[in-house]
Amino acid sequence: MDNYNIAIVGAMGAVGKELQKILIERQFPIKSIKLLGTATNKGREVKFKDEILYTEEVCKEAFKDIDIAFFCLEAEISKSLAPIAIGEGAVVIDNSSAFRMDNDIPLVVPEVNPESLRNHKGLIANPNCTTIQMLVPLKPIHDKYKIKRVVVSTYQSVSGTGKNAIDELNEQARDYVDHKEIKHSVYPYQILFNALPHIDGFLDTGYTKEEMKMINETHKILDKNIKVVPTTVRIPVFRGHSESVNIETELPFNIDDIKELLGKSPGITVLDKPEEKLYPMPIFSEGSSDVFVGRIRRDFTIENGLNMWIVADNLRKGAALNAVQIAESLIEQDLV
């Protein structure tokens, strides 16, 4: 197998750091690695395997000789840097929302639609974290039973917002213990002991942008005919997103067959022993590469109705791991 020259843009952020760990864990075939970021982070010392690396400022010519560039940046920055990287010969795997709904750019979950990579033009988009973890178990069910409709409520950790949100939840917990005033700046209300049914901006329809991502990305990745109704909620958990998913299929199914199907599918751990109080939770998913599925049960109010509880580490499968798996799939298909 060939080795590849890799760049991580936004290497000092939460996803960038997680990506470095995963590249090492999965023994990704690296010839060289370059850690890129802002001028503020230039010269930061990072240990990668047995090497000491120093972060560099991202600029023109930074991508020369780079084969694969992982972008862990805000959308507007990705929009300005991606054309530069592609022009200098790199294949860009972008974690932001900048390019996800562009018809000419593949939006990929490797367990779901790896064939979409075949027509890439130097840029692949990584889907939203909530979409990724939902579609991994939906794919085998859809292939066998044809999903008609999905109603999903998400319970998303603060790490999905970033380091500032993690710090704010920590500070609010300390202030509560110390009987101090609980302050907030990242979210419109305190997140400690709270649940905010508000992720990203509201649209005229009453849905949020986060909710529309789940609808639009499901249509692009899996099937445009599936009806999707989401409600996204932020909760005071540091890491790991949870989802309550109600599914209606066209074809009848047996619950035991669903469990067996999911258990045999790649990237899924079925944790469904309610009699032993075993079900997916964020504390189980942290650091794991799999999507956990449990509380698998029939919805008796509709024909062919199914309920599931889905949990995954949003920084891993919801971002960094999925990006690395995209790169691995590119290599497997000889598309780099």
Alpha carbon distance 175, 150 (integer Å): 40
How far lies 332's CA from each of 133, 222, 327, 336, in Å?
23, 21, 9, 9
- CATH code for the domain of 36: 3.40.50.720
Clarify whether residues 213 and 276 are in a common domain.
yes
Tell me how many degrees the CA angle 19-21-25 measures, rounded to the nearest 5: 115
User: Residue 39: its pLDDT value, please?
Assistant: 85
Clarify whether residues 162 and 298 are in a common domain.
yes
Q: Do 319 and 18 contact (CB within 8 A), yes or no? A: yes
Clarify whether residues 82 and 168 are in a common domain.
no
Tell me how many degrees the CA angle 236-22-223 measures, rounded to the nearest 5: 70
Clarify whether residues 163 and 278 are in a common domain.
yes
Clarify whether residues 122 and 135 are in a common domain.
no
**Residue among 228, 38, 242 nearest 160 (CA):** 242
Domain that holds residue 210: 131-314
Clarify whether residues 172 and 307 are in a common domain.
yes
Percent of the chain with pLDDT over 70: 100
Q: State the catalytic residues.
A: 129, 241
Cβ count within 10 A of residue 113: 17
Cβ count within 10 A of residue 80: 10
Question: Angle formed by the axes of helices 129-145 and 209-221, to 10°?
Answer: 40
Clarify whether residues 119 and 164 are in a common domain.
no
Q: What is the rounded average pLDDT of the residues 280-291?
A: 96
Q: What is the rounded average pLDDT of the residues 310-332?
A: 97
Q: Which helix (H) or strand (E) covers residue 255, if one does?
A: helix 255-263
At 229-276, the pLDDT tens digits run: 999 999 999 999 999 999 999 999 999 999 999 999 999 999 999 999
Q: Do 169 and 192 contact (CB within 8 A), yes or no? A: yes
How far lies 218's CA from each of 215, 222, 230, in Å?
5, 5, 11
The Cβ-side half-sphere exposure at 17, using a 13 Å CA radius, reads 10
User: Residue 38: its pLDDT value, please?
Assistant: 86
Alpha carbon distance 113, 23 (integer Å): 22
Indicate whether 1 pLDDT > 70: no
Clarify whether residues 174 and 220 are in a common domain.
yes
Alpha carbon distance 330, 294 (integer Å): 31
- Look up tokens 């079900």; give the residue: 279
Backbone angles phi, psi at 30, to 5 degrees: -105, 130
Clarify whether residues 254 and 190 are in a common domain.
yes
Clarify whether residues 122 and 175 are in a common domain.
no
Alpha carbon distance 85, 106 (integer Å): 17
Mean pLDDT of the chain: 97
**Residue among 69, 101, 108 nearest 85 (CA):** 69
- CATH code for the domain of 272: 3.30.360.10
Indicate whether 106 pLDDT > 70: yes
Indicate whether 179 pLDDT > 80: yes
56: helix, strand or coil: strand
Q: Which amino acid is at 216?
A: N
At 140-153, the pLDDT tens digits run: 999 999 999 999 99
User: Residue 41: its pLDDT value, please?
Assistant: 86
Clarify whether residues 287 and 167 are in a common domain.
yes
> Residue 182: which pLDDT band, with cuts at 50, 70 and 90?
very high
**Residue among 259, 317, 322, 327 nearest 293 (CA):** 259
Q: What is the rounded average pLDDT of the residues 309-324?
A: 97
Domain count, the chain: 2
Strand pairing report for 147-156 and 123-125: unpaired
Clarify whether residues 122 and 143 are in a common domain.
no
Cβ count within 10 A of residue 161: 19
